[in-house]
Structures are given as structure tokens and as C-alpha cells.
Chains A and B, each alone.
Chain A
Amino acid sequence: MKNLLICIIALWTGEVLSQNKQVLYGLEEVPQNLLLNPGSKVPQKYHFGIPFLSQIHVSGGASGVSVYDIFGESNVDINTRIRNKIFEMDDKDFFTINQQLNIIDFGWLANNDIYFSGGMYQELDFISYFPKDLAILAWEGNQNYLGYPFDLGEISMTGEVLTVFHFGANKKLSDNLTVGVRGKVYSSLIQFQSINNTGTFTTRESTNGVNIYEHELQNIDVSMQTSGYASLRDADGSSEVISEILGRTFFGGNLGLGIDVGATYDIGRYWTVSGSVLDFGAVFHTNGVENYEAKGDYTVNGIELIFPPLEDGEPTFPYFSNLEDDFENEVGVDTLQTSYTQLRPLKVNGAVEYRFGQPLSGDACDCYNMGGGLETGQSIGLQVFSVFRPKGSQLAGTLFYNRRLWDFLTAKATYTVDPYSNSNVGLGMVADLGKFNVYVAADNLLRYGNIAKAKSVSLQLGLNIKIYEQ
């Protein structure tokens, strides 16, 4: 138990923000920007991501606590600090990890002026809400909480590892409007979820006077769906596990379908709005499914001894086994193999941008683009991001400043307010070095001096080959 707790706390260190890539969004110089908005403007004619290097993204965070809160040097006892945090946080607080690795990524402008792009990436996504009542029960026990219904419905978590195969099309429909769409096939390697749980556990003074207390489980409906776990558990040795996982990586897992859509619209010469909806889709878990479910009500008062008259050597009633059987019958865990459908966490991006400064084309007249937006060296704007999670959507708002420093180098600075913090400053840089396109973006830079104080961190970096001319 203690080791588990230490592991969880240690994980927070590596954790970073949710799935928001606010620095990368709208950064047209980065080809993988198309994965955030398939309807983004595309300046290049071709791009080819260096395999495994075109986008590495890690992010994670904890909305209510930082590593420093727990492990910071302090005169207060560490257990007191943890206890204080448990009581300070609530069941809407969450821990999340999201990681993406682009394996293949490519795109080209076809003769019909459609920019096609496609590829494959691997993603890991995990979120767990903070089950506050269970944490209190584990930390303090029930002695000081007689009559208090501990809410088991606070258990809410999902986690998955999957590969995504995607192909999209992007077209500039007019001087003002660019739209795009991307289809996705998900191949799930492993997935689990425990959501929509209900039930309470209460210890109170006995109401029927049978014993001192009664322990009551009421309205219990707690379940965990897993897919891809049972067969790995039963696999014989690590080589079998590895071959099983590799098989699932390439369409061998439970499959799903999804779609991304996006658009960018120039309003006059200096204003642009854009938006995208990502991962509108679901994975259908039919193979290797194992679900666990406990339902019902149960009250226990202890063990009643009835002192039956017995002959020598004759055993008495198996009171404890009977109690266990009774419990199993009423609220025991059933294992089921029912297929289930899992919605992917839907993401929505939106942005409005105002450009100013010197036009990049040298003067105000871009004769090939009379009606569209004017490209300038600087812009500011506002972005919003939302991801739909089991307990509702998580929102983030970002102010950004984008500047073309030199022809080959663009920088973007962001200030983001999200559930983790209101002091999140991010910075991204993209450099086009010949045909090589290199970028790195990170947020929570103010915390890099002492990352332990950060409640979230997000980092993306990548390397592409990009060609502007035919």
C-alpha cells in the first residue's frame, strides 16, 4: 500500500498537462499542426516526418497537487502535508498522463490542390479522478466517520494504449477559407475504464440493536471494464506478451473509427479564426474483454454465535464462510465478457488571431491572395481548448504571441489558464534548416527553475523534412 502510494506520488513528478498542445496549435510551420487542426493553412508542398522523431509528446498533470506540495522541504510532517492535501482536494481533481509518439507522418500537395497527409502514431492516455472519500477511508479509517457515507461513486478512471492510423485531406477552398478532414482507425492495445459508479459504505451505530455497529454497503454499482488485459495476464512469458502487443499494434487489437474536422477562415486582411474537433469516434471492444462488476446492497452486523449443542468432535457452523458466501451472493464481484464501446476523449480547439507588423511579402499587396489574410511577422490571439472527460469537459484558455524572428525561425509564446494553474507560460520554436524542420514546444516554463512546483508540464518536439517548392 505504501509502495503504491509512493509510486503514485512519483508519477506526479513525470506527469504533465492533459491533451492540450496550446503552443503547437496554429503553428503552421510545424506539419504536425495538421493533427491538431486538419483545416490549418499548409505552407509546404511536401513533408515527411523522420520516423519515431516527427512528434514526441508527453504531458501530464495533477489538478490539485504538485510534487513540491508533498516533498517540498518543510517543518511540517510529511504525513500532515499529505493529510492536508487529501482534505483540500475534491473529487473533481484529477491526475492525467498523455503521451504520443508519431511513428510515420507524411503529406503532399496533390495536383488537385488537396494536401493529403497521413501516418501512424501511438498514444497513451490515462486519467483518474481523485476518489476523496476512499482516500480519507484509507488514510484515517472509519473511526472518526461513524454515520458518514463514504462515496464509492467517486471512483472514476480510464486508461488506454492504442495505435492510430490516419489519413486526411486539406484544401484551400477560397482565398479566405481552408478546410480539412481526417479519418482515423484506432487499434487498441489495452484499455480499462471504471466510470459511472455508484454506492456508499457507512459504519454506524446499530439501528436494530443486534450488535454495536452495522456496516452498510448501499446502492452499490461499481464496475471495471478491461480489454486486452486478460490475454496478457494469461500469456506465457514475456516473449508471448511482446508478440501479442506487436500484433495488436497493427490492426490486431480491438478496432475503432474516428474523425477529425477543422477549418481556418480569414476575416479581412488581419484577422483569422480557426477551429477543430478531434477524435470524434469510438473503439469497439469485443476481443479479450473482461469486465468486473459488483451490484447490490448489503448490511453486516458481525458474526452471530448460536452455541449449537454438539457431540464431541462435531464441528459447529462455518459462520465466517457463511458470511462470505452471503456477501458474495449480495454484492460479490461478477466477471463478465460483455463487449463494450468506448468513446474516445473528444477534443475541441478554437482560436482567433490578429496579425500585425511588417507584411512578409514586402509590401501590402499580395497579388496572388487579394481576398485572403495578409501574412505578417507578428500576431496575437486567443485559443480555447476543451477535452471531454468522464466527469465533464476540462477547459483551458490561452493568450498567445507569435513572431517570425527570421525567415527560418518562428517563435510562439503562450499564457494558459487551465484547471492546473493560472500561471502557465509556454514557448515554442520552429526552425527550418534547409529541408529540415525542427521544433520544440513546452509549457509551464516559469516552473522549469523548479519543476517540482509544477502541477503540469507538457513537451512536444519533432523533426521533419519539409519542402516548400515543387
Chain B
Amino acid sequence: MKTNLSVPVLLVLASVFLSSCIKDTDFDEAEAIALTPVVELDLIYFNLTANDFFDSTTSNPRLTVRDTTELPFLDDGFAQEDLRKADFLFKFTNGIPRRFDVDFQFLDQENIETYSTQTNVDQGTPQNSQLTDFIKIVEGDDLIELTKASKVVVSVTIASSDENLEGELNLKSKTTYYLEL
């Protein structure tokens, strides 16, 4: 009698577990999960004075100054796969009474240019600095080229220069990275 009863009882219990199920769910939706963080990061900054554009030892104007920094995060796999858009904001404050051309040349590890952009900076005066904002939105094919680069060369070219020129040119910049992970 005992064993006869135990069989149905255990069967009932087993059926509770076996009948347990996961319903009304759609795990295919996992494919649609996307993290889309928007990350604000500082980029480069500089302070150039009018003296930087005149070589006092040779008494010749130095019309273009140039500097380079590596940006190794640009061409790593993470950026290449997950970056959807990059907005650059360059804020110039010009207290030098000259216009400037500024070039941003992005180079890959072989120093071959993959992407470039340029802008002009309005002239100001030491007493009344001129603000120039340059916004560059990079997406699509341009972004593919940008993320092949690992360094940027910044060239600042002054229209003309002499030893009496005064004032400062200042740059602040940031990038907004739109990611999709």
C-alpha cells in the first residue's frame, strides 16, 4: 500500500517540475539589445603666443607651426567596431590681429593621411579676443577613414607675422563619441 501511494505522489511532484516552463518571452530580442552611450571627452588644447610665429634668432616669420600627438584609441578595434559618430568641437579664442588657417591631419601608423579637416580662425586683438567655434561631425565613410588613424597633426598657419605682433591664440576642444555596443 505504501509503495503504491508513493508512486502517484512522486509523479505529481515530478509533473510540477516538468510542467514548469518559460512563457510569453522572446529571447530573440536579445539580438536587439544595444548599449548606446554618448561619451564626452576632452581632446587637445594649446596656448600659442604671437612670438611663436616669429623666429627671433633669424628674424624671420615662422608662418606655420605644427605639432603631433598620438591618439591610439582611434584605430583600436573598439572604436572601429562600435563608434557610430564623432562630433568634434574646437573652440578658438584669438587675441592676435591675424587670421589663421588650422589643419587637422589624421595619420595612420605608416604616417599616411586617412582623414583631414581644416578651418579658419577670425582675427581678434589683444584687448578684444575673437571667438571661433568649429564643429565637425564625422560619420559614415569619413568615420571609417578617421578610425584608421592613430595620430593627429595640428598645423596652425598665420597670414603674416612680424616681431611686433602681440596676443594669444588659444584652443580648447572636445569630442562627443556616439557608441553602439
A interface residues, Cβ below 8 angstroms from B: 1-2, 5-6, 9-10, 13, 67-68, 71-73, 77-79, 82, 137-144, 146, 203, 206, 210-215, 300-309, 316, 318-321, 405-409, 427, 429, 431, 433, 438, 440, 442, 445, 448-452, 459
Q: B69 contacts which chain A residues (CB < 8 A)?
A: 303, 305, 316, 319-320
* B112 located at the interface, meaning its Cβ lies under 8 Å from any Cβ of chain A in the complex: no
Give Cα distance in the complex from A143 to B69, angstroms.
Answer: 25
Q: A71 contacts which chain B residues (CB < 8 A)?
A: 25-27, 29-30
Rounded to whole Å, the gap between the CB of A176 and the closest CB of chain B is 32
Give Cα distance in the complex from A78 to B72, angstroms.
Answer: 34
* B45 located at the interface, meaning its Cβ lies under 8 Å from any Cβ of chain A in the complex: yes
Rounded to whole Å, the gap between the CB of B11 and the closest CB of chain A is 12
Task: Choose, from B15-23, B137-145, B159-167, the stretch at the interface.
Answer: B15-23
Q: A440-B13, A449-B21 are in contact. Are A303 and B43 (CB under 8 A)?
A: yes
The dominant DSSP class at the A interface is mixed
Rounded to whole Å, the gap between the CB of A133 and the closest CB of chain B is 13
Q: A210-B45, A213-B42, A304-B44 are in contact. Are A409 and B67 (CB under 8 A)?
A: no
Chain A-chain B contacts (Cβ-Cβ < 8 Å), number: 178
Give Cα distance in the complex from A371 to B147, angstroms.
Answer: 83
Asked if B17 and A13 sit within 8 Å, CB to CB, the answer is no
Q: B9 contacts which chain A residues (CB < 8 A)?
A: 405, 409, 429, 431
Q: A408 contacts which chain B residues (CB < 8 A)?
A: 2, 6
Give Cα distance in the complex from A416 to B43, angstroms.
Answer: 55
Instruction: Report which of A142, A302, A429, A452 forms a contact with B25, defined as CB distance below 8 A.
Output: A452
Asked if A139 and B35 sit within 8 Å, CB to CB, the answer is yes
Instruction: Report which of A2, A13, A68, A141 forms a contact with B38, defined as CB distance below 8 A.
Output: A141
Q: B25 contacts which chain A residues (CB < 8 A)?
A: 67-68, 71-73, 452
**Besides A71-B26, A77-B32, A433-B2, 13 other CB < 8 A contacts?**
A10-B30, A73-B26, A141-B38, A143-B38, A215-B41, A305-B45, A305-B67, A305-B69, A307-B52, A316-B67, A320-B71, A406-B2, A433-B3
Q: A300 contacts which chain B residues (CB < 8 A)?
A: 42
Asked if A307 and B22 sit within 8 Å, CB to CB, the answer is no
Q: Which residue of A lies closest to B156 (CB)?
A: A307
Rounded to whole Å, the gap between the CB of B60 and the closest CB of chain A is 12
Q: B30 contacts which chain A residues (CB < 8 A)?
A: 6, 9-10, 71, 78
Asked if B70 and A212 sit within 8 Å, CB to CB, the answer is no
Asked if A305 and B2 sit within 8 Å, CB to CB, the answer is no
Rounded to whole Å, the gap between the CB of A462 and the closest CB of chain B is 14
* B85 located at the interface, meaning its Cβ lies under 8 Å from any Cβ of chain A in the complex: no
Q: B48 contacts which chain A residues (CB < 8 A)?
A: 307
Instruction: Report which of B24, B29, B34 forms a contact with A452, defined as CB distance below 8 A.
Output: B24
Q: B67 contacts which chain A residues (CB < 8 A)?
A: 305-308, 316
Q: B35 contacts which chain A residues (CB < 8 A)?
A: 1-2, 5, 138-139
Q: Which residue of A lies closest to B12 (CB)?
A: A429
Rounded to whole Å, the gap between the CB of A24 and the closest CB of chain B is 15
Asked if A306 and B46 sit within 8 Å, CB to CB, the answer is yes
Asked if A79 and B42 sit within 8 Å, CB to CB, the answer is no
Rounded to whole Å, the gap between the CB of B23 and the closest CB of chain A is 4
Rounded to whole Å, the gap between the CB of A330 and the closest CB of chain B is 17
Q: A214 contacts which chain B residues (CB < 8 A)?
A: 42
Give Cα distance in the complex from A301 to B172, angstroms.
Answer: 10
Asked if B70 and A307 sit within 8 Å, CB to CB, the answer is no
Q: A206 contacts which chain B residues (CB < 8 A)?
A: 172
* B65 located at the interface, meaning its Cβ lies under 8 Å from any Cβ of chain A in the complex: yes
Give Cα distance in the complex from A52 to B179, angstroms.
Answer: 48
Q: Which residue of A lies closest to B180 (CB)?
A: A2
Give Cα distance in the complex from A445 to B13, angstroms.
Answer: 11
Q: Which residue of B lies closest to A315 (CB)?
A: B68
Give Cα distance in the complex from A427 to B21, angstroms.
Answer: 18
Q: A71-B25, A212-B91 are in contact. Are A302 and B45 (CB under 8 A)?
A: yes
Asked if A316 and B68 sit within 8 Å, CB to CB, the answer is yes
29 A-B pairs with C-beta separation under 8 A: A2-B34, A5-B33, A10-B30, A67-B22, A68-B24, A71-B30, A73-B25, A73-B26, A79-B32, A79-B34, A79-B36, A138-B37, A139-B37, A143-B176, A206-B172, A210-B45, A211-B173, A301-B42, A302-B42, A303-B69, A309-B62, A318-B70, A406-B2, A407-B2, A433-B2, A440-B13, A448-B16, A448-B20, A451-B22
Q: Which residue of A lies closest to B69 (CB)?
A: A319
Give Cα distance in the complex from A442 to B110, angstroms.
Answer: 63
Asked if B45 and A79 sit within 8 Å, CB to CB, the answer is no
Rounded to whole Å, the gap between the CB of B129 and the closest CB of chain A is 13
Give Cα distance in the complex from A73 to B24, angstroms.
Answer: 6
Asked if B44 and A140 sit within 8 Å, CB to CB, the answer is no
Asked if A302 and B173 sit within 8 Å, CB to CB, the answer is yes
Asked if B20 and A78 sit within 8 Å, CB to CB, the answer is no
Q: B89 contacts which chain A residues (CB < 8 A)?
A: 212
Q: B71 contacts which chain A residues (CB < 8 A)?
A: 320
Give Cα distance in the complex from A138 to B42, angstroms.
Answer: 18
Give Cα distance in the complex from A417 to B39, angstroms.
Answer: 41
Q: A427 contacts which chain B residues (CB < 8 A)?
A: 13, 16
